[in-house]
Amino acid sequence: MASTISWHFEKHPKSAVNGLQIHNERKSDKHKNARIDPEKTHLNVSSVIDHEFKNIPYTQRIDQLIQERYTGKRKPRKDAIVDVQHTLQFGGDEVLQLSPDKKQEVITTAINFLVDRLGGYKNVIGLNIHRDETNDHVHLDTIPLTEDGRLSAKDIYNRTFMKETQTQLLTHLQEQYPELDFVRASEADRGFENGRSQADFERLRDEKRKQDEEHQEKEKTLKKTENELKQKMVDALEALEPEFKVAASVYDENKVSDSRENYFEFIDEFGTAPMPVNTRQGWRQVYEWLHIDEIKRALEQAKQYVSDFVVNKAHALIRREDELDNKEKALEVKAQSLDQKEEQLYTNVLAIVGEETEIEIKKRIDGYEKYARAPENTWPNFSRLGIIADNLSEALTLTKENIEKNNELKGVLADTVIDLGYLGPEWRDSLIKNSGLKAVNKKTREHIDKPFEVLLPEAIHKASAQQLNVLMERTRRFNNKDRDISR
């Protein structure tokens, strides 16, 4: 590989030169430049051309040269350019692999040529060779005094001077050391544009390194976030579609391209065929082999399937609810019909019992209520119950033929006896069938031989106030309804 040489300079006012000197002569252990290796700093060369400049700062050296050679009528401005720092940068395997002495010879040749182009060593205020960084380079600080004593960096370092100096410096080194094959360093090799200073180079390189580190950190964070998102997506896919599998072609492709030396490791992690995502191996197949966009598409399809399923299920539930509502309405209509039928039957019972019997029953209910509240020695005489029972028995006897011919009426009478607590429900069928005569209890096979005209008065006589009250309420409701209908 050829050797390279580059020359750059940077202009500074007096206020900046102290910092330059500290850096050039390594007067501090605290360096902003991370490439400085303190263990190699002793290899650096710091040369004072004029012995009078030894151990004095750059500012005093500049003041002394201005006092001796400056011919301007006015005192230089405070922000005037008083220091131009030149940097010679060497690169390439040929020159970097030279012995220290030979390398120093090449560097000295380049320095002497550049100093001659700058007006000689009388303008040099500092010369430093740094060997404690990545590549050897030179910092040459000069004062921009013209031959006629003017302080003007602008007049000296114009574009023509820059181009001619770069060309002539390269040509000089090529002539002096043809074996090193010197070429001008490209911008890609240097990392910065032509005309930039070494300080710019170092600053830009530091910035680039920082940007690269930040970029790598962002890439790492982005990758971590992407992996976490991908994991959540695979988990969601497992929940929505547990039987999802990668295609057989995807499995075969990864099986062939897998770089594992141990085939059994692949089988242990991914299995011998595409597996459902709800298995350990199937989950790994989806996570490792499918791109996040592919998982996203599969997830969207699964979501759509679930959404359609839920909608269809909802529609089915709505239809079922409508069916139940219709059935409920039909049951309500049937119940209303039964209520009407029951009301008619109880009306028939009322016709049998008569209004006088209803009054007597009401009196008995009132008597029972007083009976429940009063002391035992104040209980009333319920002798009227016998009269009520006799009247009811006589009424039922007069309509005995109607009872025998009307099964619905017999059912109402049987229900009345049961509701009054005289007999249990297990007597009902036998009472209706035989009108009370030779009735049989289904459970106990007990017999009774009393017609309704006997059973009903006895039931009223033995009924509680609450049972009678229920019977009276039913009778009153049916009676009122009949009056409303007659109107």
Domain limits, the chain = 3-192, 342-486
Predicted confidence pLDDT, tens digits, the chain (487 residues): 688 888 988 999 998 888 888 888 888 777 667 778 888 888 888 876 655 666 788 888 899 999 998 998 888 988 999 999 999 988 888 888 889 899 999 999 999 999 999 888 888 988 999 888 877 889 999 999 988 999 998 889 888 988 899 999 999 999 999 999 898 876 445 544 444 455 555 666 677 778 888 888 888 888 888 888 888 889 988 888 889 999 988 888 888 877 666 778 888 888 889 999 999 999 998 888 888 888 888 888 888 877 777 777 777 888 888 888 888 888 888 888 777 776 666 565 555 554 445 555 555 445 544 444 444 443 333 333 444 444 444 444 444 555 555 666 777 778 888 888 888 888 888 887 777 667 777 778 888 887 877 777 788 777 776 777 666 665 555 445 444 444 4
Torsion angle in degrees (nearest 10) through CA of 147, 151, 155, 161: 60
Could you tell me if 12 and 81 are in contact, meaning their C-beta atoms sit under 8 angstroms apart?
Answer: yes
Tell me, what DSSP letter sits at residue 477?
H
56-88 as b/e, with b when 16 or more CB fall inside 10 Å?
Answer: eebbebbebbbeebeeeeeeeeeeebbbbbbbb
Q: Which listed CATH number (2.130.10.10, 3.90.1640.30, 3.90.1150.10, 3.30.930.30) goes with 3-192?
A: 3.30.930.30
Cβ neighbourhood burial of 282 (10 Å; 0-12, 13-18, 19+)? buried
Bridge partners (DSSP) listed for residue 130: 137
Q: Cα angle at 185 between 166 and 111, to 5 degrees?
A: 45
Total-model pTM:
0.42
Per-residue pLDDT at 80: 92
* Whole-angstrom distance, CA of residue 433 vs CA of residue 56: 141
- In the block, tokens 């009301």 appear at 343
Give the count of beta carbons closer than 10 Å to the beta carbon of residue 247.
11
* Cβ within 8 Å of residue 255, ≥6 positions away: 266, 270
Tell me, what DSSP letter sits at residue 145?
B
- Structure token digits, residue 91: 């690169």
